[in-house]
């Protein structure tokens, strides 16, 4: 069991499933990335931090950095976002295609470092 497993297991089963879902989406989009906890959040790392995610009261925070948000602003629709974060409400399905696109963008960015 790694640190991200421990992070997920601290929550009720319904929330564990949501967290595992976003984790799996990220793993599929960035299979070479390693997992760790950074800034107390599950983090995927490949030539630097790719993305983080964290559970909040009413949403899953997804943190692809400022470039990751800026590049996809036009696709964020009704999702709340800030300079480096996107909020995916717990009341809605996760946008798998969007998350995948953002993660692949970040992989490409970090590969060019």
Per-residue pLDDT tens, the chain, 113 aa: give them. 799 999 999 999 999 999 999 999 999 999 999 999 999 999 999 999 999 999 999 999 999 999 999 999 999 999 999 999 999 999 999 999 999 999 999 999 999 87
Domains of the chain and any CATH numbers: 3-112 (3.90.1150.200)
Rounded Cα distance, 43 and 105, in Å: 16
Cα gap 9→23, rounded to integer Å: 13
What's the CA gap between 41 and 53, in Å, rounded? 6
For 39-55, give one letter per residue: b (16+ CB within 10 A) or e: eebbbbbbeebbbbbbb
From CA 101, how far away is CA 80, in angstroms rounded? 18
- Phi, psi (degrees; rounded to nearest 5) at 76: -80, -15
CB atoms within 10 A of CB 99: 24
């Amino acid at each position: 069991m790694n640190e991200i497993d421990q992070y997920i297991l601290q929550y009720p089963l319904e929330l564990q499933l949501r967290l595992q879902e976003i984790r799996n989406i990220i793993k599929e989009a960035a299979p070479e990335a390693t997992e760790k906890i950074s800034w107390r959040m599950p983090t995927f790392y490949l030539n630097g931090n790719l993305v983080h995610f964290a559970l909040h009261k009413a949403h899953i925070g997804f943190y692809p950095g400022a470039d990751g948000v800026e590049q996809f602003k036009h696709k964020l629709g009704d999702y709340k976002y800030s300079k480096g974060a996107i909020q995916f409400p717990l009341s809605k399905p996760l946008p798998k295609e969007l998350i995948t696109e953002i993660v692949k963008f970040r992989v490409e960015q970090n590969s060019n470092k």
